[in-house]
């Protein structure tokens, strides 16, 4: 099991460009989370999907951020246009739901730098 797979590992882009981060959850996990990690704020939940449906997107900073989960094995987080303050590590995590407790399984993260 390769675990949660995120791509790319690193992304450097210029302000104003569109950025797309990708996540493949663990097979069989039906809950998927996007988190953002910064020095100042730690880990912030951006959005949470259950069975491909967005359940809570109250953490999405603003309209420049959008996330989709077109099927059970793929999700994207898009930032358009990107700004320097979006620079952070973005984590995707998945877990099975409805089966009692299961810890979150995190990907390796995507380190985004917006210049």
Partner 1 sequence: AQRVTQPEKLLSVFKGAPVELKCNYSYSGSPELFWYVQYSRQRLQLLLRHISRESIKGFTADLNKGETSFHLKKPFAQVEDSAMYYCALNNNAGNMLTFGGGTRLMVKP
Which chain residues interact with partner 1 by CB under 8 A?
3-4, 31, 33, 35, 41-45, 48, 50, 55-56, 91, 93, 95, 97, 101-108
- For tokens 């995190």, the residue is 106
CB of residue 43 vs partner 1: minimum separation in angstroms? 4
Nearer Cβ to partner 1 (5/81): 5
* CA 98 from centroid of its chain's CA atoms: 22
The single residue listed with the structure tokens 């985004």 is 112
Structure tokens at 81: 């246009």
The CB-of-114 to partner 1 minimum distance in angstroms stands at 22
Residue 80 vs 102, nearer CB to partner 1: 102
Cβ at position 31, least distance to partner 1 in Å: 6
* Residue closer to partner 1, measured from CB, 47 or 82: 47
Q: Give CA separation, 81 vs 33, 63, 66, 97, 113, in Å.
A: 22, 10, 11, 33, 13
In this complex, which beta carbon is closest to partner 1, that of residue 34 or of residue 82?
A: 34
Radius of gyration, alpha carbons of the chain: 13
């Amino acid at each position: 099991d390769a675990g949660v797979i995120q791509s790319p590992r690193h992304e450097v882009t210029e302000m104003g460009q569109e950025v797309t981060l990708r996540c493949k959850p663990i097979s069989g996990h039906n809950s998927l989370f996007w988190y953002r990690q910064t020095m100042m704020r730690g880990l912030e939940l951006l959005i949470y999907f259950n069975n491909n449906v967005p359940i809570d997107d109250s953490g999405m900073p603003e309209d420049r951020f959008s996330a989709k989960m077109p099927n059970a094995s793929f999700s994207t987080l898009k930032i358009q246009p990107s700004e320097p303050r979006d620079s952070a590590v973005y984590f995707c995590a998945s877990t099975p739901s409805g089966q009692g407790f299961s810890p979150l399984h995190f990907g390796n993260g995507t380190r985004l730098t917006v210049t």
